[in-house]
A and B are shown apart, each in its own frame.
Chain A
Amino acid sequence: MAAFVIRRLLWLPILLFFVSLITFALGVYGPGDPIKVLLGIRANPETIERLRHEYGFDQPFHIQYLRYVANALQGNFGYSLVKYRDQPVGGLIAHALPVTIQLNLVAIFLGLGIGVPLGLLAGLKRDTWIDLLIRGLVIAGISLPIIFLNPVLTFIFSRRHDIVLTAANLRFSIGPLLPMVQGYWDGIFSAKVILPAFIESLGIIAVMTRQMRAGMIEVLSEDYIRTARAKGLRERVVIVRHAMRNALIPIATILGLMMGGLVAGSFLVENWFGVPGVGALAFDALFSRDYYITMALVLLIAVAYVLSNLLVDLTYGLLDPRIRKA
């Protein structure tokens, strides 16, 4: 077991090397220039040159890259070049990351809490109107784009809380359910988390419902379910003890893989609801070619996915004894 974990973790530096090299190359050679974004299009060419020299952007690629890696290994991931000028990237992420993780945890919790029971019900009531209704809702949930849901749901909920909308600056000053646009976040234990988390959870609900429905239908036709019924067990015991555990195995896999996504925020939801998370930070960084931030976020997400995959492999055995001993 320990050997397995170590072997997997040894891959991490190799992966990070390639990911960082590609991302850095895209930052350096890709279109756009953070200095130009910073100074504006009418900037004096000499000023641009001076700043480029100051930041070391006039150095050859390999020097820039090696300097970045050397700094990163010491925990210094560079500084913001544009919007959060000269703030260390590490600090920016340290602020944004907990917010996004919290929001995503609520979203996953909602996704599981709504999706699994819905899928279970649909699977048990296969081809009845209940099943059709749930499947219809799931398709609607997965098909409606977030960019549509954001304003619509905001509108619906804000009406109920006597919205005061000032058209001039589009600042919302509405009931307790909604955080205001532009940086207003009370953390995970406030009612304001519900709407953005719900919108983020729609996709998760859809995936969980479909997987759980398909899983239940498959498991219920298995021979061992007939065996369980032939023992005279109550239908509830047959479903909970014999069917659900088997149907939950793939759910655990999906859930584990989602853990990697915990650190990646949603651009659309975070920006719309003014959640100061990773998604909002990444949005700023990408649009202003602030590539040290982009680099750090890409590396963070890569590490998160490697670790979550490892976690999936380790916990899989807890649910499925066939894998535990293998």
Chain B
Amino acid sequence: MGTLLQVKDLRTEFHTQDGVVHAVNGVTFHVDEGETLGLVGESGCGKSVSVLSVMRLIPQPPGKIPAGEVMFQGRDLLKVDDEEIRSVRGNKIAMVFQDPMTSLNPVLTINTQISESLELHLGMTKEQARKRAIELLKMVGIPEAEGRIDDYPHQFSGGMRQRVMIAMALSCSPQLLIADEPTTALDVTIQAQIIDIVKRLKRELGMAIIWITHDLGIIAGLADRINVMYAGFVIESASNKEIFANPLHPYTLGLLGSIPRLDAALKSKLTPIEGLPPDLIEMPKGCPFYDRCRHRTEKCANENPPLDLGAVRHWVACWNWQDVQKARSKQ
């Protein structure tokens, strides 16, 4: 399978009154055709900002992308003109956002909001687009789609709205779907339904997915590969199985230690990661996880480890990953 999207050394910063916020600090990752990549990390680690930068949806100003390369189908999306990036957005790369309650325009009907992509990118007439929009609503499991197509967003529940968002994103059969925490704002049963819909549609349509979440439980059942992000860096990258079976970065280990497990001893407590992520305005010189790390050495304070250490097909940005591995196997 070929590479669909290759992001190289992407940097995104925000110029605010308090200083320059370094939200994404040289992120490199790729997505293969038809695969699901999980982007995992806590709030503010740069997950959303990196994918919004890929789509060039960062408001500029205050945002700025001073460096990086986003190769998609032989061109650098950061360099193409506005016309060309618009022909990619919603067409080749589509997005589903976190909060379905606010992501749909309250004064336009569902038909208008789905049809406008179809008319724009596929050149459909209003009638064709309407027919297709009804099919799309059926595809995401909205009952009586014909009767609901002219409704407004406020007439739908949160879960139904997220289905509409998915229908909208998939309307032009994109090669890449970016799902930015699409289930975070939904309750658990609805979360499961949305995940099932996306899994089914992926099987049927074969698009690649970048699924952003802070919930490792969700990503375990979804992703082929997982990138763990911290303070604007990808700090570990491996297959889904590898990450859960053999985490090499102390932060990933910490994340796994803070999820409740059904198979854990009854009285065992969750282990939180002590401390806070670094201030993104004044980034430390060395490893961004230094302050919170149990395996830190002097080298970590001065040199930020690159993401090219680790085992076979398992990359980690930690100088002491072997110590981490040893310490873990002793437990």
Contacts and interface: CB of A to CB of B under 8 A. Distances in A.
Interface of A: 222-224, 226-234, 237, 241-242, 245-246, 249, 319-322, 325
B120 interface: yes
A224 B87 CA distance: 19
B106 to A, nearest CB: 6
Interface stretch (B97-105, B219-227, B249-257): B97-105
12 contacts: A224-B106, A227-B105, A228-B105, A230-B55, A230-B89, A231-B116, A241-B116, A320-B106, A321-B109, A321-B152, A322-B152, A322-B154
A242 B97 contact: no
B192 interface: no
Contact of A230 (B95, B105, B152): B95
Contact of B103 (A223, A232, A245, A249): A223
Interface of A, helix, strand, loop or mixed by DSSP: helix
B117 A231 contact: yes
Contacts of B154: 321-322
B106 A321 contact: yes
A224 B105 contact: yes
Nearest to A226: B57
B50 interface: no
Nearest to A242: B105
Contacts of B108: 241-242, 245
A158 B28 CA distance: 70
Contacts of B88: 232
A222 B102 contact: yes
A237 B119 CA distance: 13
A263 B100 CA distance: 45
A228 to B, nearest CB: 7
Contact of B87 (A229, A230, A232, A245): A232
Contacts of B109: 321
Given A231-B116, A232-B120, A233-B116, A246 B89 contact: no
Nearest to B92: A232
7 pairs of A and B residues whose beta carbons are closest in the complex:
A232-B89, A231-B90, A232-B90, A223-B102, A321-B152, A224-B105, A232-B86
Nearest to B121: A232
A152 to B, nearest CB: 40
A228 B105 CA distance: 8
Given A246-B107, A321-B154, 7 more contacts: A223-B102, A230-B97, A233-B120, A242-B105, A242-B108, A245-B108, A322-B106
A249 to B, nearest CB: 8
A234 to B, nearest CB: 7
Contacts of A232: 85-91, 117, 120-121
Contacts of A223: 97, 99, 102-103
Contacts of B120: 231-233
Contact of A224 (B90, B95, B102, B155): B102
A191 B16 CA distance: 50
Contacts of B91: 232
Contacts of B31: none
A245 B105 CA distance: 10
B4 to A, nearest CB: 18
B106 A227 contact: no
Contacts of B280: none
A237 B154 CA distance: 22
Contacts of B167: none
Nearest to B94: A230
Given A242-B105, A246-B105, A226 B97 contact: yes
A325 B107 CA distance: 13
A222 B101 CA distance: 11
Nearest to A221: B59
B235 interface: no
B150 to A, nearest CB: 10
Contacts of B89: 229-232
Pick the most buried of A226, A320, A325: most chain B CB atoms within 10 A of its CB: A226
Contacts of A325: 155
A325 to B, nearest CB: 7
A321 B105 CA distance: 11
B106 A246 contact: yes
B107 A320 contact: yes
Nearest to A326: B154
B168 interface: yes
Contacts of A229: 57, 89
A234 B97 CA distance: 20
Contacts of A233: 86, 90, 116, 120
Pick the most buried of B89, B94, B99, B107: most chain A CB atoms within 10 A of its CB: B107
A321 B108 CA distance: 8
A229 B60 CA distance: 13
Contacts of A242: 105, 108
A245 B107 contact: yes
Nearest to A322: B154
